[in-house]
Amino acid sequence: MDHQDRPISIAMVALGGQGGGVLTGWLVETAEKNGYIAQSTYVAGVAQRTGSTVYCVEMFPRKEADKTGKVPVFTPYPIPGDVDLVIAGEMAETSRAIEKGFVTPNVSTLIASSHRVYSMPEKEALGDGIMDMSKVSEVASRAARKYVCFDMQEAADETGSIISSVIFGAIAASGALPFGRTDFEQTIRNGGKAVDSNLRGFSAGYERALSAPIAEDTGAPVEAVTEGPNGQALADRIKSELPVELHKTVLHGALRTLDYQHADYAHQYIDRIVQLTSTDHIKYGFVLSEEVARQLALQMCYEDIIRVADLKTRANRFNSIRAQVNSEGEQPVGVVEYFHPRLEEVCDILPASVGAKILSSDLLKRLISPFFSKGRNITTTKVFGFLILYLLAKWRRFRPMSYRFREQNKFIETWLDRVTNAAVKDYDYGVAVARCIEIVKGYGETYERGLSRYLAMIDVETGAKNSDEVRQLYRAALADEKGEAFEAAFASLGIDA
């Protein structure tokens, strides 16, 4: 495209911490080193995550300006319909860029990362609040002249770099700017900071942009990866004993339970699904079995302080934190975890008889509760702090003997019986009962609130009697924390919550 009559216009929407300022600096320097006049501006915004900033870079050939004897006037903000290159550092930001009108057919090259950084509304939703990004990718491919999309955060993690260097490589590969690969790489070298890691990220972005498909998967479940003999054994059993319609979902659930506890626990998960499928039927597409498989995995992998300690002491967590703060080489990074289990959560991991005795005794609860009234800051990058959580994580071998494990197993068996009985009456009713257990999740008060609403929903005497009522109460249960919508829904059905 001939840009001699106007500047090349670049718009970038990025989250805080993604190095947007560094990237705009690289773009300006690359332009200026190659005979262009360039300017960059930005407008900071307050997003639902880490803050979203709109950057604008414009550049114009110096020789063209010299011919006319006029200095080009650059815009301080991207002009919709006149942006040549649009960069989005995350998939929801791609949607934002399209909404703002930056992306134009036959004009704009759109470079986007397909990974997600969930917004606060998505995280705070009582149910599944994750937005479907697949439609964004479809719209993006139609809205842009050229669309390059892949998981740039993954490429950054794999190369030990930052996402801005990966995006820089994708820009170079897209051909949207009149500079060669060596020009971009020289800019990184001129910076003199983290040169090796940034060049690795640049190379990864460049190569992946050349091979990236037009539309990237941006929200569909990823394929489960079976590692080790236990994972492969689970996969083989699933293929041999379950309908093909369930393979993907059940494999995800089996691997989750394997990671949570051990191989026997994962096989118990499969046993339960196999038993259910004997009463399901292909004419329904095994919808009931698939819903149960999804919810069962979540209930069998309930949150307790053992699980929290396990996740907080994994190597990939420390690697992720180092990447987020752009730690280089041997640069020290300190991690302080806030840990505040209540007495109830502590009793959950005690032997069943001990936990039950404490929780049933008002005297014991009054005596012990003060020891757990305050939270603790545990520095997991120091030996003592790490050992506390590491040893707590190793307590998982004793989890099957714990109070919560016993109670959770009873709860799951009762739920499975309810699902089966409901499905005998009406298949859709069974599916609704299977799904409504989704509100029972989380930790502490969140778990207790969800449990109380679930028990009210499926109470044999006063609960929902058909699929429509179950779904109405399910939606109401997720509407607010106080439960006002839930109580109103019960009242509308003529029953008392």
pLDDT of residue 1: 42
Q: How confident is the model at residue 364 (pLDDT cuts 50, 70, 90)?
A: very high
Mean predicted confidence (pLDDT) in 117-145: 79
pLDDT of residue 226: 63
Question: Does residue 4 carry a pLDDT above 50?
Answer: yes
Q: How confident is the model at residue 219 (pLDDT cuts 50, 70, 90)?
A: very low
Contact partners, residue 476, CB within 8 Å, separation at least 6:
485, 486, 488, 489
Q: How confident is the model at residue 484 (pLDDT cuts 50, 70, 90)?
A: confident
Instruction: Give me the torsion for CA of 201, 206, 207, 212, rounded to 10°.
Output: 110
Question: Does residue 220 carry a pLDDT above 90?
Answer: no
- Dump the DSSP string for 97-116: HHHTT---TTT-EEEEE---
Amino acid residing at 87:
I
pLDDT of residue 461: 58
**Which tokens hold the place of 4?**
């001699």
**Helix, strand or coil for residue 218?**
coil
**Which tokens hold the place of 156?**
């950054």
pLDDT of residue 3: 46
Question: Alpha-carbon distance 253 to 476, whole Å?
Answer: 27
Question: Alpha-carbon distance 188 to 10, whole Å?
Answer: 19
- The residue ranges of DSSP E strands in 78-189, in sequence order, are 85-88, 109-113, 146-150
Contact 441, 298 (CB under 8 A): yes
Q: How confident is the model at residue 224 (pLDDT cuts 50, 70, 90)?
A: low
Contact partners, residue 146, CB within 8 Å, separation at least 6:
109, 110, 174, 176
pLDDT tens, position by position, 282-331 = 878 889 999 999 999 999 999 999 999 999 999 888 888 887 676 777 78
pLDDT tens, position by position, 92-121 = 889 989 989 999 888 899 999 999 888 777
pLDDT tens, position by position, 166-191 = 999 999 999 899 999 999 999 999 99
Mean predicted confidence (pLDDT) in 254-266: 95
User: What does DSSP assign to residue 214?
Assistant: S
Which of 225, 300, 293, 317 is CA-nearest to residue 257? Answer: 300
Question: Does residue 49 carry a pLDDT above 70?
Answer: no
Question: Alpha-carbon distance 312 to 332, whole Å?
Answer: 18
pTM given for the model: 0.64
pLDDT of residue 442: 79
Task: Name the more confident of 350 and 45.
Answer: 350
pLDDT of residue 492: 84
Q: Considering the chain, what is the average pLDDT of its residues?
A: 87
Question: Alpha-carbon distance 379 to 339, whole Å?
Answer: 10
Residue 112 sits at φ, ψ, to 5 deg, of -135, 145
